[in-house]
Amino acid sequence: MTPQVYPEKYFSKIFIKGNKRGEILIENIIFIILNLIFLTILVLFLLRQGEGAVALEESYAKEIALLIDSAQPIMTMQLDMKDAIEVAEKNGINKKDIININRNIVTVKLTKDSGYSYSFFNDIEVSVYPDATSNNLYVIKLNGYRNE
Amino acid sequence: MNNRGDKLISVYWFAILILVAGGIIAMVLIFYGAQYDVREIEGEIMNNKISDCISYKGLINENVFEKNYQDNLLKNCHVTFNVEESWTDIQYYFDVKIFGIENIDETVAEFSEGNKNLISSCEIANENYEKLAKCSNGKFYAIGEENKQYLIQILSIVRKSEKNVKQ
């Protein structure tokens, strides 16, 4: 009895068939890893946007300007700026340099390259400094009207 | 054949993922890209500030009837219209109308400060015109000398559109 000769094509089919389980496993793992990478990037993007320095700078500058607008002389206000202080410290900004008031313009700076300014119409002398008794508070002190 | 089908499904899967992610990113950028519009609150605060200057504890400040006081209203009310360097025009306006209660049609005193061009924005108060200035109206009564009663109307306008509305 002469041995049966199988064509080469047939061998390759057997080879592929024999390895199919392994291939499916690797493909699935790569697919899952890619999905995870994709979703992780998406979640990181959303988190970064939520605690972004630019949005915080704008919201704090406007909030402080409105607080000063509605305040009277010899008032002292304390503002909780925990999230802004955390972002500023991450970006190497000194705590006392976060808020700066030049005449009637408030500037909040949380990164070295950015900063947001907003003006207030109350013509009053204001001084701002970090609260010595708390790590998260800032003190806004209204001294008196300018033209008195 | 089955393997090819799987690959085809994964390509579609990624296409769907990219579409969903693109949508989420676009929504987040629109949400966080929009500026906080504080002009309405600012206008109301200005209204209160001017009110305090015109009348205190229900009694009218009799100085408001004097021309000299009206001419130096900003100084007398401790208000400044200085803004950031990005603007050259005045970004605020307010006007005060004082009526005697016995004749509500005629003003006893009327004065204003700021950019008069902003008044037209109040007439076109519409959602589609957010870039225009925001207006805030206030009305209250006060008593003067000899128990004379007055109606005081204040209109405050804040523009500052570039810093409050996405351009």
**In angstroms, rounded to a whole number, what is the distance separating the alpha carbons of residues B139 and B51?**
9
Minimal Cβ distance to A62: which of B25, B38, B92: B38
Closest CA to A58 of B158, B159, B160: B160
Please tell me if residue B81 touches chain A, with a CB cutoff of 8 Å. yes
What per-residue confidence (pLDDT) applies to A63?
96
Distances (CA, A) of B128 to B118, B124, B131, B132, B165: 17, 9, 8, 9, 12
- Min mean pLDDT across A129-138, B75-84, B95-104, B116-125 is at B116-125
Whether pLDDT at A83 is above 50: yes
Run of H or E residues at B2 = helix B2-33
Q: What is the pLDDT of residue A14?
A: 45
Query: For residue A146, what pLDDT is reported?
Result: 85
Decide if B45 touches A, using CB distance below 8 A.
yes
Pick from A27, A49, A121 the residue to mutate for testing the B interface (most B CBs within 10 Å).
Answer: A121
CB contact under 8 A, A42 and B46: no
Å between B45 CA and nearest CA of chain A: 6
Which tops the pLDDT comparison, B69 or A1? Answer: B69
Q: Which of A58, A104, A145 sits opposite B82 (nearest CB)?
A: A104
Angle between helices A82-90 and A53-69 (to 10 degrees): 140
Averaged pLDDT score across all residues of chain B? 87
**Per-residue model confidence as pLDDT tens digits over A7-34:** 555 544 544 454 555 666 787 788 888 8
**In the predicted structure, residue A1 carries a pLDDT above the cut 80:** no
Structure confidence at residue A114 (pLDDT) = 85
Confidence of residue A140 (pLDDT cuts 50, 70, 90): very high
Query: In chain A, what is the straight-line distance between the N-terminal and C-terminal CA atoms, in Å?
Result: 122
State residue B98's pLDDT score: 94
Count, residues in chain B: 167
Q: What is the pLDDT of residues B107-157, one digit of tens each?
A: 999 999 999 999 988 887 676 677 889 999 999 999 998 889 999 999 999
Output the pLDDT for position B135.
Answer: 93
Q: Which residue of A has its CA nearest to B4?
A: A24
Interface test with A, best of B32, B53, B73, B161 (most A CBs within 10 A): B32
Q: Using the beta-carbon criterion (under 8 Å), do A42 and B48 form an inter-chain contact? A: no
Give the per-residue pLDDT at B50: 95
CA distances (Å), B159 to each of B23, B81, B154, in order? 33, 12, 17
- pLDDT for position B78: 93
Tell me the mean pLDDT in the region B29-43.
88
Which of the 8 DSSP states describes residue A6?
Answer: P
pLDDT tier, A4 (very low <50, low <70, confident <90, very high otherwise):
low
Query: pTM of the full predicted structure?
Result: 0.78
A53-60 average pLDDT score = 90
Q: Which of B30, B42, B161 to mutate to test the interface with A (most CBs of A within 10 A)?
A: B42
The domain segmentation of chain B, as residue ranges, is 1-33, 38-163
Q: What whole-number distance in Å separates Cα of residue B141 and Cα of residue B148?
A: 11
Subunit contact A123:B6, Cβ cutoff 8 A: no
* Residues of chain B neighbouring A103 (CB-CB closer than 8 A): 82
pLDDT for position A11: 45
